[in-house]
Amino acid sequence: MASSDFDGILLGMGNPLLDVSAVVDQEFLNKYDIKLNNAILAEDKHLPMYDEMSEKFTVEYIAGGATQNSIKVAQWMLQITGATSYMGSIGKDKYGEAMKKDATAAGVNVHYHEDESAGTGTCGVCVVGGERSLIANLSAANCYKVEHLKKPENWALVEKAKFYYIAGFFLTVSPESIQLVREHAAANNKVFTMNLSAPFICEFFKDVQVKCLPYMDYVFGNETEARTFSRVHGWETDDVEQIAIKISQLPKATGTYKRTTVITQGADPVVVAEDGKVKKYPVIPLPKEKLVDTNGAGDAFVGGFLSQLVHGKAIEECVRAGCYASNVVIQRSGCTYPEKPDFN
């Protein structure tokens, strides 16, 4: 394929957030009732934690948001400017400007809605022993409206794309936008992918998630999310391989593509289910002392995976690229990467 064939081939939609990241301590986690390897929306009790983090710990500010991370990593792996596009809502403030600059420098074609009333969303990233917990204060990210998507210059990105990726987190913000995109994908035989994203999405946004499932050609998630999904659906199994198969066999809106479920398990093998069968792929081993933090590991896996999927590569190549990208990201702070990938 010529590089022009990749123009806007992959579109992501999600919640653009500025990561406020710090290595904290167990006392801090306890104070704010935070569990590691989890992702939640901030409640009132969490709001003072952002300031407290910057007073007590060394804080880094990194452009983030699950879908935006994945799209940036896919863009980095592809090394073809403008191969990816992204939509979401930011505030008209310095954080929003920094985010736009960061994403554009990464080569992503970003079409943000810029909200007049709310500040750019932030995500507290609390790291203890390399494990992360995410507490998102969506703010402007929560203000995305389907009207923005319907604008001709934005809908053009949907028309141009052949692959779509939306993290489950966006279900809490604009299910109407997701509906338009998934229906377009189904009607035009394009590939629609989503992520389970967090236990709370599977649990408290089950109904909107279930409406999207028939349209999902690829479902991503980690072992904790998969087990929560199983419990919420009354499946009575904690076996990740069985859960992956069951998700892949749920009804589909169209028969164009069979559904593939891809579940990561940290340092344990990646589970891939399709056609009622499971394959497991080992991840690249990493000595504990090289682990900086797991923030963005799952996002990077998806980005690497999608970078090969849009090339029409076999599933094992997609997984290999996902494992490569996440291995790079966990050796750095947040979802960041060197200038060029070293993936062949």
Provide the pLDDT confidence category of residue 4 given band limits of 50, 70 and 90: confident
Please give the span between the terminal C-alpha atoms of the chain, in angstroms, as a whole number: 17
pLDDT at res. 332: 92
Adjacent-strand bridge partners of 22: 126
Catalytic-role residue among 19, 102, 293, 299: 299
pLDDT of residue 225 exceeding 80: yes
pLDDT for 28-46, tens place per residue? Answer: 999 999 999 999 999 999 9
DSSP string, 301-320: HHHHHHHHHTTT--HHHHHH
Provide the pLDDT confidence category of residue 302 given band limits of 50, 70 and 90: very high
pLDDT of residue 2 exceeding 80: no
Is 299 considered catalytic here?
yes
pLDDT for 140-165, tens place per residue? Answer: 999 999 999 999 999 999 999 999 99
In sequence order, the 6+-apart residues with CB closer than 8 A to the CB of 24 are 53, 56, 57, 126, 127, 128
d(CA 266, CA 276): 23
Nearest to 46 by CA among 134, 161, 110, 105: 134
pLDDT of residue 180 exceeding 80: yes
pLDDT at res. 294: 87
Kind plus residue range of the DSSP H or E element containing 95: helix 94-105
pLDDT of residue 307 exceeding 80: yes
pLDDT of residue 311 exceeding 80: yes
Q: 243 in helix, strand or coil?
A: helix
pLDDT at res. 295: 85
pLDDT for 264-278, tens place per residue? Answer: 999 999 999 999 999
Provide the pLDDT confidence category of residue 63 given band limits of 50, 70 and 90: confident
**Which stretches does DSSP call E strand in 116-151?**
121-128, 131-137
pLDDT at res. 163: 98
Pairing of strands 109-115, 10-13: unpaired
Domain at 3-16+65-118+141-330: CATH code: 3.40.1190.20
In the chain, where are the structural domains located?
3-16+65-118+141-330
d(CA 192, CA 11): 10
pLDDT of residue 1 exceeding 80: no
**Mean pLDDT rounded to a whole number for the chain:** 96
Percent of the chain at pLDDT > 70 equals 100
pLDDT at res. 293: 85
Token readout for 288 is 């504990």
